[in-house]
Amino acid sequence: MTTPSEAHPVPNPDNDLLRKALAKAVAGLTGSGRLDVVEVAADGVTSFKIMRDDHGVPRGRRWHTPWSDLAQDREALLRAADVDPDDDTVLVCSSPGSSRADQAFEWLRATRPDAPTLRVDDSIAALVTEVLGADPLTRSYDLVVLRPRTDGTLELATVPLFPVQARPGATTTMTLHCERGGPNGTAFAVVTWQGHDPLLLSVQSAALPPGSYEITAELRRPGRVRFSGLPTLSGDPRGWAELIAEVPARLPSRATGPGHLICAIEVCGAEPKVAERVGRARQVVSTLSNLPGLSVSVVAYGAHSFDRSVKDHRVEVRAWRVDVSTAQSVLDELEERGPITQGYPYHPHAAQLEDMLAAVDRGLAGDPASPVALLTIGDRPPHPPKIDNSRVLPCPSRHDWRAVVAHLEQSRNVVFGAVVDYQVGDKLPRVWQLLGSAALANFDALDIRGLTSGLGLTSDAVPVPFPLIDVE
């Protein structure tokens, strides 16, 4: 049989006062501020030092000193309590009626007469933990996602989970899409913000089948978010830099038709350099040789001569939509021929990139719809459509390379990759940023798998480390 007090426990008013005092003191912590909570108890002195971490989460450390180590000595007591005059302080006596405890409590009060003082009947460790776990957020929490752009490239973004002042128990529900996440699975990474920079709070992951998921995030306590609506998540060892490095340039292609790879190769210049460019094209084509239905085009371009006594060497469409075997034979012939010499001396600081782009656009005009990737292999910039401050002579046909690139991307759905000779840290010219927007590689450090994955023509699935939002 239960007594009335057992059926309806009576709240302890002293504990309620202490809870409110601690909650107020913790709420007042900002920046590098610290809170000292000192408890004088029957078995000694317990000190709690509380501060906020980089995410605004209150963290505390605790240590206990028994009476036997204090020897009723005031200085020993103050050293054990470690009350910093610059810290906020709360003093608690949980052993009222003990002469030793009362004496120690008075010494502490004399040292910090400005500190709130409270007397309770029980140890306060559980109450301190409770207060820290119930603290409202001082920084908003966001979930890291990827947002596909209309051209298929991926943009790193976040979606809000919990705003400032959210309390434990708050929930947020959203629908997200997941692709294959690689060996570590799809990462559910929660960040806070330091100015404009994200700070990684937590990462949990799971191997999820591709598809859409309705996910509920629950704020368990400051610094701890639980996700439901998913298979069991586990801790993920990846750091922020490692996660970001795994983000592909674009969303894996969902196209069902056969792909079309166009290899555009600059064939003017020194013979070893031209042979190297052709060899890089051969490597890419060979890597894709087992891709069902792949067609390959080979386009060679040189440089304008601007010498009226010499006929300009036009862009050569050496093969158009041929099979891999034929394309490899065409590349062999191109390498055997070597650099073009017709039109020499040609312009030393530019190539017919703009004419090549126009030739590709004409070739695609009557082509069936299919995924198209233009891989440009060269070094030189294009000729401008008219005289500008680049000191490069304008294209004789007045082709505007920027306009043609935009047309190929928007009207022909072409994705762009490039292999170019550049040094890490160099400021890459705008033309190569655009022509390598989906996949950019260096002659000396060519990642064939990464290049073909970026072009969307590989049969290998590209891992996507974060969930996707706004996927149609």
- pLDDT score of 299: 98
Cα–Cα dist 289/451, whole Å: 15
Taken in order 342, 348, 353, 358, the sign of the CA dihedral is negative
* Amino acid (1-letter code) at residue 44: G
- SS3 assignment, position 232: coil
Helix axes 324-337, 271-287, angle to 10 degrees: 170
Which of 259, 305, 316 shows the shortest CA–CA distance to 455? 259
In tens digits, what is the pLDDT along the chain, a chain of 472 residues? 444 444 444 445 667 889 999 999 999 998 889 999 999 998 899 999 999 999 999 999 999 999 888 877 889 899 989 988 889 999 999 887 788 888 999 999 999 999 999 998 888 999 999 999 999 999 999 999 999 887 678 899 999 999 999 999 999 999 999 988 878 899 999 999 988 889 999 999 998 888 899 999 999 999 999 999 988 899 998 899 999 988 887 776 554 456 899 999 999 888 999 999 999 999 999 988 888 889 999 999 998 877 776 777 899 999 999 999 999 999 999 999 988 865 455 667 889 999 999 999 999 998 776 789 999 999 999 999 988 887 788 898 899 999 999 999 988 889 999 999 876 556 788 899 899 988 888 887 788 877 887 787 765 557 889 999 865 5
- SS3 assignment, position 258: coil
Residue 110: what are its φ and ψ, rounded to 5°? -65, -35
Sheet containing 234-235: order of strands: 154-162, 141-148, 186-194, 197-206, 234-235
Contact between 263 and 296 under an 8 Å Cβ cutoff? The reply is: yes
pTM of the model: 0.60
Count the neighbouring beta carbons within 10 Å of the beta carbon of residue 368. Answer: 9
User: Can the peptide bond before residue 429 be classed as cis, meaning omega within 30 degrees of 0?
Assistant: no
Q: Residue 85 to residues 110, 111, 344: CA-CA distances in angstroms?
A: 12, 9, 83
Cα–Cα dist 5/399, whole Å: 91
Cα–Cα dist 206/184, whole Å: 7
